[in-house]
Structures are given as C-alpha cells and as structure tokens.
Amino acid sequence: MMLAEMIENNKLEIFFQPIVSIKNKKVFAFEALLRGYDDEGQILSPVWLFDQARQEGLSLILDQLAHMKAIEKFKNYFDKNEKLLLFLNFESSSIDRDFDIKPCVIEDKLNELGIPFKNIVIEVKEDEIYNIGYLKDFCQYYKKLGFNIALDDFGTGNSSFDRLSVIAPSIVKIDRSIVSNIHNNYINTEILKAISKMCEKIGALVMAEGVESHEEVLECMNGGIDIYQGYWFARASRLFSGSDRIQQKIIDLSKDFFENRDRINESKANIFEQANDITNKFLNVCMSIEKDKKKKLTELINNEKNVEAVYMIDAKTSRQIGKTIMNVEPCGFYEPSIEGEDHSLKEYVYMVDISRHSSYITGQYISGASGNMCRTFSKKLILNEKEIIFCVDVYEKEKSIKICA
C-alpha cells in the first residue's frame, strides 16, 4: 500500500502514551504517536510509515498531518486539564535544512483551538541532525514563541553533549538503551545519575523513556529521575483511561522506594559502625605494650569482612604516617598510598575536620588502592599525644566492579 493512498483514505490515527511524574503523582503529559492501518485494519509499524514517507517524498506532509491530528485530539484532554503537555515529534529532515522562519501550521492550529504554545513540547533527535546551525535556528525560533524543546533518545547513536549548550532543552529524554535492565547494570546506573545531575545544573528536566519494569523505575528514582514514559505505566492507546491504574503503581513505587532508602541508610550505618569498631581495635593494639604490633594489625584487618585497607594520616599536615595495610591485592595501575603522601584534597580528610563528631564516611568511589568501589571511614583521634586521622576503606563485594580479569 502506498502512503499517499493511506493519507487520502484517512487510514492514519494518533495514539497517546502518558508521561508520568512520580513526585506529583499524576500524568502530566502525552506523547503523540502516529499509527497507520493496512487494508485488513491491522496496525502498521511506525518505522514502516516513516520509511515509506521518505521513499514517496512525503516526510514533511506526514509530519504536518501527524501534528494536526495530535493537536486536535489533545484539545479534548486540554479542556479538562489546562496544565497537560503534549509532546510532538518533529521529522529530522524538516530541521536539517535551511529553516524558513515563518508561521507554521501548528501555530495556526494551536491559536485556532486556544491551546497555549507553552503546553507543547517539540521533540528533536539531535543525533540525526547534521547541520548544527539549522538545529540552533529551529530551536531558538520555537523557544522564543514559548514552545518547550525536548531532546529525544539522549545517550544513544551520535548524541553529543556539546549540543546541550546549543539547544538548551527544557527536557532530556534518556534513551531506552540506558534504562533497560538498569537495576542490574552498575555502569548504566552511574551514567544515568551523571546525566541527571548535569541536566539539573543546566535547568533541564530528565525523563526515562521506555521503562518496562518496576525495578527499572525504582533504580531510576534512586538516580534522581522523576518523569517516566513506557509500557510499565501504560502503552500508547486511542483513548487514555488508565489514571487509577497509574496512581496505584505510583503508590506501590513510593512504598518500595522508601523501604529501599531505609535499607541503604541502614547499610551505611552498619558500615560506619563496623569501621568505627575496627578503629577502636587498631587503636588498642597501637597503644598496647605488646611486641610485633604490625603483625597483629595485619591479622586484625585480615579477619575483618569487606575491609580492604587501613592507614593513618597526620591531622596537621594531611600526610600519611607509615604504610597502608592492605587486605586485597591491588589491580592494574592501582596501588596503595605510601608514607608521606599528601591526602589534603581527599574528602575523608577535609570533611572530618568539620564533622561534629570528628568522624566521617564518604559515598562510594573508586579506590585508588585497589580499583574497587569503596567507602572511606575517617576518624580524628589522639595517638601517642599526636592528633591523627585514622582511615578505613570498606567495600561491598556484591556491588564492586571487577576492573581486572
């Protein structure tokens, strides 16, 4: 079937997929998705539609038709809730050309139906657009009118971080390739967190698209993501009527999220208690009159679960006193710090100075001694009439990344 024939016979329809805000506990937007039907009434692949449009030279016409149908359908939802947003996809070929700055059909249609431009989010796939000048002109034109700009599928293909400064999007949609199975992928978890923090700094909301499981959403929530789109909440449909079901999903998520937070806090408290106990044991050995203290200290650390290293730092000079006692083998180019090494810019040194209880525990980071993900517990104390900072590196084996084979 030819696309031109489908357009003429009105065999194209808009489906809406809800976009959910967890914090606000509601559907706050819809993405408009074009669907087509064959002669038997079966839904055709969207990929086929747009490939066919390119073959028939109808890409721009199909794009505009999809926008008109979406806006007309959105009007019914907007009349019930004027805070709703509508996400519209723009064909990359309509952007990757000399942009003709003049009123477009969507502006006329929105004015006709009384829908403010601020309720529309224009999605662009910047990795498919080669002329950055055209991309900049396009985004600036619509932003000046009051439209919102979203970057689609960020983190895949040829996505470029430097284009964030050119586009200055309102929303960044993290691609499914990063979100998929993220609860079992530590690297993707950290990538997501980094994108989330970066977007927060530049004033852009972050959305995880393509979420398909409860666990994926929970992990994204831990990474600071609030906005979601995907099958797990709801599939795209002709008419949306799933608010109650989504509300219940959000309630279940919230419960599990806070329970998970409690477990994380409990785990961190246990690490703190374990490291503090080790510190006291080491201190007792150091202050004892027994011989061969180094041997006893080594035996002590070897008996401690999840402890990889201990070392002492001069509190006044921030330089290490003696060697690092290791409980694991260094990996690759990683190696333990040595006597006299300057630790003044290490978090566990400068933060313990301002700690109310003269003790501190870091977040997870890559240990320079072993390459494992670890936390460092530090405590300021007096040893042999000298103020020192005693440090214990603790790692959770099940969460560590194996750097070396």
pLDDT tens series, the chain, 405 aa: 688 888 888 889 999 999 999 999 999 999 999 999 888 888 888 888 888 888 898 888 888 899 999 999 999 999 999 999 999 998 776 665 655 555 567 899 999 999 999 999 999 876 666 777 888 888 888 999 999 999 988 877 655 677 787 888 999 999 999 999 999 998 899 899 989 988 988 899 999 999 999 999 999 999 999 999 999 999 999 988 878 899 999 999 999 999 988 887 887 788 888 888 888 887 787 777 566 777 777 788 778 778 888 899 999 999 999 989 888 887 778 999 999 999 999 999 999 988 888 899 898 888 888 888 888 999 999 988 899 999 999 886 555 454 444
One domain, residues 167 and 295: no
Q: Which CATH number do you get for residue 370? A: 3.30.450.20
One domain, residues 106 and 209: yes
Note whether residue 116 is domain-resident.
yes
Q: Which CATH number do you get for residue 189? A: 3.20.20.450
pLDDT score recorded for residue 82: 96
Note whether residue 271 is domain-resident.
no
Spatial distance between the Cα atoms of 86 and 121, rounded to a whole number of angstroms: 6
One domain, residues 160 and 84: yes
Distances (CA, A) of 152 to 96, 99, 171, 190, 239: 15, 20, 9, 20, 24
One domain, residues 7 and 108: yes
Distances (CA, A) of 110 to 84, 99, 121, 140, 395: 14, 21, 13, 19, 56
pLDDT score recorded for residue 405: 45
One domain, residues 225 and 335: no
Note whether residue 270 is domain-resident.
no
DSSP secondary structure of 77-128: HHHH-TT-EEEEE--GGGTSS----S--HHHHHHHHHT--GGGEEEEE-GGG
Give the single-character DSSP code of 129.
-
One domain, residues 252 and 300: no
One domain, residues 179 and 298: no
Q: Where on the phi/psi map is residue 318: left (φ > 0), alpha (ψ -120 to 50), or beta?
A: left
One domain, residues 23 and 65: yes
3-class DSSP state for residue 7?
helix
pLDDT score recorded for residue 93: 66
173, 207 contact by CB (below 8 A): yes
371, 331 contact by CB (below 8 A): yes
378, 348 contact by CB (below 8 A): yes
pTM strictly above 0.95: no
Vertex 177: Cα angle to 85 and 128 (nearest 5): 70
One domain, residues 77 and 136: yes
Note whether residue 275 is domain-resident.
no
Note whether residue 340 is domain-resident.
yes
One domain, residues 257 and 391: no
One domain, residues 48 and 123: yes
Taking alpha carbons only, the member of 94, 100, 143, 148 closest to residue 121 is: 148
Q: What is the number of structural domains in the chain? A: 2
Note whether residue 380 is domain-resident.
yes
Spatial distance between the Cα atoms of 177 and 182, rounded to a whole number of angstroms: 9
pLDDT score recorded for residue 160: 62
Note whether residue 348 is domain-resident.
yes
Domain encompassing residue 349: 289-399
Report the relative pairing of strands 365-366 and 373-383 from DSSP bridges: antiparallel
Spatial distance between the Cα atoms of 183 and 251, rounded to a whole number of angstroms: 20
One domain, residues 14 and 151: yes
